[in-house]
Structure 1
Amino acid sequence: MSGEITKITEAVSRNELVKLTKELISIPSYYGIRDQETEVAKHILAIFQKEGIECRLEEVKDGRCNVYAVLKGTGTGKSLMLNGHLDTIPPYDMADACCPHVSGNKLYGRGASDMKGSLAAMVISMITLKRLNIPLKGDVVFAGVIDEERQSLGSISLLEKGIRTDAAIVGEPTESKICTAHRGLEWYEFAFTGKTVHGGRQQEGINAISKALKFMCVVENELAPRLIERRHPILGNATVNIGVIQGGTQLSTVAGYCSVYLDRRFLPYERYKDIGQEFLDIIERLSSQDADFKCEMKVTQDSIMEGNYVHLAYEIDRNDPFVRLMHNKLSRVLGIDAELSYFPAWTDAALLSNYGKIPTVVFGPGYMACCHSKDEFVEVSQLVESCITYALTAVDYCNQEK
């Protein structure tokens, strides 16, 4: 294996990684663009085709396509999926977001960290293995998927088509750390109904904002402290955040409606159905105390996934053989003991792990702190480290007998 480490390390081209990352950033793939991610998928497809790697596009919805590629093994070894999302958030306040540039060790542009850098590293890792003609017993599968930033249609499509591997790496920006867990996520809307009257006749109205305030006080003063007590050895505590409040029409009118939107982050051992039930219990209690208290709860449209999929929490045992193998490879690449951590946001790893039953880690170049910002960047050195780590992990894992 030491000879292959040297071969792979020498074969991975910094310039080629930078070039491909810049090309991917230059192709917009945010919500609102026609076919959104498909031009990025086609670009990756063309690169794999040029290198003689088996690949294909698959339409998921409304012209939006996943892109798949595979380095075939002999059929006796374990298979590995490199999974990355093709979409980004919009530019927002990032000037020249799709005009990438390099300054020192940093490559700037929308999606540099989240996650076109990871995509480039995954693609180049497979190309490197192909060029070196390194034998594999099991398959290395690349899955470039759509829609992770919204409803994860791409990874859901992958699972619905029955695509499975023995392990997977989801390439989010982890700062070259191996992430083995993240919280689950749900977004709820609470719609409070009152009675609208002129402000001069307040006693005849029912103020929906006041009713919402009662609810929020219980959430903040009772539920939130309970969640702080629910702890996980890696992730810390469960959380709830009141993110948006909308209500009323004008100052001289008693508000007849009010909507409150909450973000609930839950731990791997919390059951999804219990998350919503806690809020329903609060509503039931307040309704029993106040005949004018009327509230309806629902999952927000942005959070609803197709079928029966939900944003579950994710965790893999840190003693899992795949985690240990990858930790060994990354430590050798970095020259230090690689750090095991957790990911602060939700990822498609939860889908692959919970619904696909695929042992999955989250790992890639970039910093969460700069994602979705006007200064998004990825360090070129991390692109190289990640690419080499993907390749080394694939060689070792896919040459293990099933």
Structure 2
Amino acid sequence: MDIDKLKQWFKCNDRVVSILRELIRFNTSNPPGNEHAIAVYIADWLEERGFKTEVQDIEKGRSNVIACIGSGDRIGMILCGHMDVVPAVGTWNYPPFDGTVVGGRLYGRGSCDMKGGIAAMMAAAEFIAKNGLLSNKGLALVFVCDEESKNKGMRGFIKKRLSADAAIIGEPTGLDINTGHRGFVLVSIKAQGVSCHSSQPENGVNAIYIMADVIKEIRGYAKSLSNKVDKYLGKASLSVGTIRGGNKVNIVPDKCEILMERRLLPGETAEDVIRELREWIGEDHRVTIKSYPELKAAVSEPESRLVKDMADVVKGVLGKKPVIKSFPAGCEASFFINYLKIPTIIFGPGSLNQAHKADEWVAINDLIEAAKIYSLISYRYLRR
């Protein structure tokens, strides 16, 4: 590849910025998502640049877009991201769905998490397509819906059984190379009591008191997880996030529920978590435990070919040795590694510290550098 041509192509900030501003103007707050319109927009944009595209409908108003280019029988690289964003709550100084540019930053919901990554991937795809850089393998772009909730988009996409040599998830990593992430499972624990008038509490069973005992045991369980450590992903953990119980102060509550999130290490399952919780809480018929579909932990070893290739490309663009670590949150890498068996890393512009906040932003320079890196790593895998 002509590196000078690459640098010149992305020298103009407007190329990536204009793409991102258009993406931000689609309000894809989840719920409800409404990703169909942006999926159609991206599909049309990529078709104009020579890609074959499919808008995969997941449910009413919610779609993925899958785009491929190249004449080879095999895909060399998949660039992937999610099109939904979290709601724009809080007080904003800049309109959340405008894409305001101020002081080298682009503000807007999804600028960091993760329409910025998508925009950089689209810009890289355009560079490859328009400069005749396709070879004996294809390039695929996969942008999914509902990542911020139940991963309905990814669960629908993996049914396609797409195969490739490598994949990159464009979540915000600050241009560090992230090799994987812990999994997680959401768990509901309910306590059943007996209601009565609060003036005679002895006639009832207070569900909140039952849950208080349960939470005490959960805190012990949480401390014990510090002994569960993966050499790449760190410690297992849990957090109780919500509690609901009681209707009125003069009624002894008969129901109480907590929701907790347990971060999983490789090999751990939802069934393991339920079993461990039962061991700590005990067999109490008044307490029920239910788990929801899990996201499995996923990791590509730092010594893998993909990580080494990416490190070489990143060093060449940024001029410094890249940081290699794990991603704190969960993402689509779980599906690529565990279900499609595709070597996958997480790499994108922006910091996770900016995600889900008011006045979310991404540095424009990060967008441009990410687009260069996506171009170079994709080119390497298209020719291999």
1:148 equivalent in structure 2: 147
CA distance, structure 2, for counterparts of residue 135 and residue 24 of structure 1: 26
Give the 5 Å matches for 1:70-149: 70-75=68-73, 79-95=76-92, 96-149=95-148
Residue-by-residue CA offset, 1:188-243 (whole Å, 9 max, x unaligned): 111100111112212221111111011110111x2112101212233321111111
**Correspondence for 1:296 among 288, 291, 301:** 288
Shift of 1:278: 0.8
SS in structure 1 at match of 2:302: coil
CA distance in 2, matches of 1:159, 1:321: 23
Bigger shift: 261-270 or 314-323?
261-270
Query: Match for residue 247 of structure 1?
Result: 245
Amino acid paired to 2:82: H
Q: What does 1:230-241 align with in structure 2 at a 5 Å threshold?
A: 230-241=228-239
Alpha-carbon distance, 1:21 to partner: 0.4
One-letter code aligned to 1:223: Y
- What one-letter code is carried by the residue in structure 2 that aligns with 1:109? G
1:218 matched residue in structure 2: 217
SS of 1:397's equivalent in the other structure is: helix
Instruction: Tell me the amino acid that sits aligned with residue 83 of structure 1.
Output: C
**Higher alpha-carbon deviation: 82-91 or 66-75:** 66-75
Work out the CA distance in 1 between the residues paired with 2:81 and 2:91: 23
Which amino acid letter does the alignment assign opposite residue 294 of structure 1?
R
CA distance 1:312–1:47, shift in 2 (3 Å): same
1:256-288 deviations in Å (ceiling 9; x for gaps) = 111111111121243442122111223434x2x
Q: Report the Cα distance in structure 1 between the residues aligned to 2:189 and 2:31, rounded to whole angstroms.
A: 28
> Residue 317 of structure 1 aligns with which residue?
301
Q: C-alpha distance in 2, partners of 1:218/1:315?
A: 31
Which residue number in structure 1 is paired with residue 205 of structure 2?
Answer: 206
Residue 358 of structure 1 and its aligned partner are, at CA, apart by 0.9
Other structure's SS at 1:199 match: coil
Please point out which of 63, 66, 77 is paired with 2:64: 66
Q: Aligned partners of 1:83, 1:181: CA distance in 2, in Å?
A: 15
Q: Distance in 2 between matches of 1:42 and 1:269?
A: 38
Q: TM-score, normalised by structure 2?
A: 0.95
Q: Does 1:341 align with 2:325?
A: yes
Cα deviation, residue 377, structure 1: 0.4
- SS of corresponding position for 1:165: coil
1:94–1:110 CA contact under 8 A, matched in 2: no
User: How far has the Cα of 1:74 moved from its partner?
Assistant: 3.6
Amino acid at match of 1:43: Y
Question: Is residue 227–residue 238 contact of structure 1 (8 Å, CA) maintained in 2?
Answer: yes
Residue 209 of structure 1 aligns to a residue whose secondary structure is: helix
Distance 1:73 1:332, change over 3 A: farther
Cα distance in 2, alignment partners of residues 94 and 161 from structure 1: 41
- C-alpha deviation, 1:253, in angstroms: 2.1
In the alignment of these two chains, the number of paired residues is 381
AA aligned to 2:327 is: F
Q: Name the SS for the 1:351 alignment partner.
A: helix
Quote the offset at 1:31 in angstroms.
Answer: 2.7
SS in 2 for 1:337: coil
Q: Contact 2:217–2:281 (CA<8 Å) still a contact in 1?
A: no
The answer to whether structure 1 residue 31 and structure 2 residue 12 are counterparts is no
Task: Tell me which residue corresponds to 2:358.
Answer: 374
Gapped runs of 5+ residues in structure 2?
A: none
Q: Is the 8 A contact 2:134 2:382 kept in 1?
A: no
1:94 and 1:373 in contact (8 A); partners too: no
Question: Are residues 1:326 and 2:325 paired?
Answer: no
Q: Which amino acid aligns with 2:64?
A: N
**1:245 Cα offset (Å):** 1.0
Amino acid at match of 2:324: L
**CA–CA separation in structure 1 for the residues paired with 2:71 and 2:311:** 23
With 201-210 and 63-72 compared, the bigger mean Cα shift is at: 63-72
- Under a length normalisation based on structure 1, what TM-score does the superposition of the two structures give? 0.91
SS at match of 1:166: coil
Counterpart contact for 1:78–1:399, Cα < 8 Å: no
Q: Deviations for 1:5-35, whole angstroms, at most 9, x for unmatched residues? A: 33222222421100110110011112355x7
8 Å Cα contact 1:168-1:361 kept in structure 2: yes
| Distance of 2:18 and 2:325 partners within structure 1 | 30
Q: 1:78 to 1:70 in 2, by over 3 A?
A: closer
Say which SS state the counterpart of residue 244 (structure 1) adopts.
strand
